[in-house]
């Protein structure tokens, strides 16, 4: 569980990073979850963009992805989701 200060720090990092994953009209799929899982292991902080042609609820998708990848939702702004999970490399210092 992240504290408020930790989330604030992660949000400040996420502002300058680009979204590395996009969710399209197919929504959540097994391949997408696997890709997010691998990205979290490599980067710890992942920014995901939900395209306009995706009809699913962004908040529900964020919570589902966080549950399936054992990560935490740092922020949801519009159609952008930021997830965090500690990796073995410990890239980001909290």
Domains of the chain: 4-84 (3.30.110.60)
Question: How confident is the prediction for the chain on average, in pLDDT?
Answer: 93
pLDDT digits (tens, 9 = 90+) for 68-78: 999 999 999 99
Query: Strand, helix or coil at 2?
Result: coil
What percentage of residues in the chain have a pLDDT greater than 70? 100
Query: Which H or E run contains 82?
Result: strand 80-84
Q: How much is the pTM?
A: 0.92
d(CA 5, CA 74): 11
């Amino acid at each position: 569980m992240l504290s408020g200060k930790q989330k604030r720090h992660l949000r400040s990092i996420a502002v300058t990073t680009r979204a590395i994953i996009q969710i399209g009209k197919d929504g959540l799929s097994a391949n997408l979850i696997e890709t997010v899982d691998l990205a979290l292991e490599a980067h710890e902080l992942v920014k995901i963009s939900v395209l306009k042609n995706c009809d699913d609820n962004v908040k529900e998708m964020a919570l589902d992805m966080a549950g399936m990848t054992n990560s935490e939702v740092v922020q949801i702004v519009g159609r952008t989701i930021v997830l965090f999970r500690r990796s073995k490399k410990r890239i980001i210092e909290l």
